Structure 1
């Protein structure tokens, strides 16, 4: 069920949509959350057991559309266009499962060949995810870095960096759209290369190396740098006319893994213990995801030709999230800090 395009299917429709739900839903009634969780779990089990059945293909779009219905209106109150981009971007990602369903069910019966294939749709979803992580990651890191440095008497002028943020939104949105057609992919590559440069500049201007007492911020900084590295690698492969699958994993493993796990631990320890997560845990997460990303990238477009590298990459990814699970098990969310 998870082989071939099924692997990308479960990454975007399973893992990414679950992360988006946890990060954007906010407080919800327990009954609604349990219903969403049950639908998500049903979609995962059906796809793994029988991915070709229509019911299996309907469950993920159903979850995604319900998620969009609950989340997107929350971002409509923003006034600046940069802030209003969040809602449409989340909606676009949530519509990808529906597009997958249409490609699967309708495209084979059409008299004309559909120019977009399932693989291209998955790659488009990862580029849209790159934009979402760029925006949300910046909005999380910038104020945290500024607050930490101000406590040390170091003013940070480069916070959100609105001009760079606006340029990144435009560049990454254009690159995702241009990627959908083979003839315009060189243009997508150029947009991604400029975006990679701006991502690196933005991250360096936060001066996170001056915050050694905040390992959680350093972890998020490494995750943000992976966005730049991944965008540059995808751009390079596209300019060479090579498949970008291996380089896209620098985004899905390096950036998504590091940022998502770092945010989880940061929220866990700050909300219930009012302290940053331990430095050893952040360092171990950064190391495990870096090993997993580099090994998967080194496996190339034909990863099954390098089974040892592929296995080690998968083990690194799994070990990192097992560590996160253990930390949550040792610090249950129901047990609040005695100071509260």
Structure 2
């Protein structure tokens, strides 16, 4: 049994969910308690951990597939060492090196998996993941003295990068699932992946990432994000999700996709009008990333362990709690610690969601090892 490959999501998804549940309330405690502990979550530290810790663990779990322990063990050990060292001693050189080391090793195993595709749109996931992994290295170089870009701007760019990756991969998950559901009902779906819209998104969002790096082009970045938001809304509307009312798991996935549109639109408005960017970016990092990541984690785990969709109460709880967290964090504004009530409400809803997901994933893993793996998981 020990020599058999393990699906990477059984290892990385529970760890990512648990880390997400811990990081946000601990970052608030570090500031509001006056202790400054843990030091790695002060200031932009929690943003670093949610992008280069949580999000990269999600990517590892979703893209690595079944792997032998000789690959999974070093990867996971490096990820865990990076998280704990950053949490406790972020100024140590070893702590700063471990995150880019994990990111680059992850890219080494993941990026080549996407190069066999023939169409350029199908190959693009590899470069997108590589770009996010390289940002962990650039973040280290910025802390080491690289004059440009500022660390905060780099994190903002990384969040737009996550928006791009979620837009691409989310569409590739939702479109075939909706098409399969509608075909069973005798309702054909012609607009599936929608390559024209996808192509425009793959052109607009990378350009927005570049523009957001420079003050002189921030308004152009805002306009690009507004255009991307409109394209995402059109794409969702063409999926005919009103025919899927018996599939709450798909509806919540689509809700997460619409959070991408909301986050892109509000971020675009803030850039164009000169308002503070941080509250708007949390609509992407909390609303979209939270809803989509929890939905995908549970979907994969339920398929593998039980050959069925996640129960309605689980996905609906995710939708409500993450929406509460996203809205409260946005309303807390650019000076969030002046609104501790809203912040604690957002942090509590977020932590409750991800701790529940971590527990559910652990229970499903126990179920999966007690029976033969499903041969035909639900598409």
- The reply on whether 1:74 has 2:113 as its aligned counterpart is yes
Is contact 1:193-1:232 (8 Å) kept?
A: yes
- The reply on whether 1:334 has 2:369 as its aligned counterpart is yes
The aligned counterpart of 1:180 is 213
Q: Distance in 2 between matches of 1:167 and 1:335?
A: 46
**SS of equivalent to 1:261:** helix
The offset of 1:328, in angstroms, is 2.0
Q: Distance in 2 between matches of 1:81 and 1:296?
A: 37
Unpaired runs of at least 5, structure 1: 108-113
The aligned counterpart of 2:271 is 238
TM-score by length of 2: 0.86
Is contact 2:229-2:260 (8 Å) kept?
A: yes
**Which of 318, 323, 326 is the matching residue for 1:293?**
326
The offset of 1:339, in angstroms, is 7.9
**Which of 16, 30, 39 is the matching residue for 2:55?**
16
The aligned counterpart of 1:111 is none
With 328-337 and 253-262 compared, the bigger mean Cα shift is at: 328-337
Is contact 1:273-1:337 (8 Å) kept?
A: no
**Which of 224, 241, 259 is the matching residue for 1:208?**
241
The offset of 1:76, in angstroms, is 1.1
**Which of 223, 229, 232 is the matching residue for 1:190?**
223
Q: Distance in 2 between matches of 1:70 and 1:129?
A: 19
In structure 2, the CA distance between the partners of 1:59 and 1:242, relative to structure 1 (3 Å rule), is: same
* Higher RCO (Cα < 8 Å, 6 or more apart): 2
Query: Number of residue pairs matched?
Result: 334
In structure 2, the CA distance between the partners of 1:57 and 1:213, relative to structure 1 (3 Å rule), is: same
Q: Distance in 2 between matches of 1:217 and 1:133?
A: 15
Is contact 1:215-1:276 (8 Å) kept?
A: no
Is contact 2:304-2:373 (8 Å) kept?
A: no
In structure 2, the CA distance between the partners of 1:194 and 1:339, relative to structure 1 (3 Å rule), is: closer
The aligned counterpart of 1:247 is 280
The aligned counterpart of 2:314 is 281
Q: CA RMSD in A?
A: 1.3
**Which of 126, 130, 138 is the matching residue for 1:91?**
130
The offset of 1:338, in angstroms, is 9.4
- The reply on whether 1:123 has 2:156 as its aligned counterpart is yes
**Which of 272, 275, 298 is the matching residue for 1:265?**
298
Q: Distance in 2 between matches of 1:20 and 1:338?
A: 22
Unpaired runs of at least 5, structure 2: 1-39
Q: Distance in 2 between matches of 1:301 and 1:65?
A: 33
- The reply on whether 1:47 has 2:86 as its aligned counterpart is yes
The offset of 1:99, in angstroms, is 0.3
Is contact 2:260-2:288 (8 Å) kept?
A: yes
Is contact 1:273-1:336 (8 Å) kept?
A: no
The offset of 1:335, in angstroms, is 2.9
Q: Distance in 1 between matches of 2:304 and 2:95?
A: 37
Is contact 2:305-2:374 (8 Å) kept?
A: no
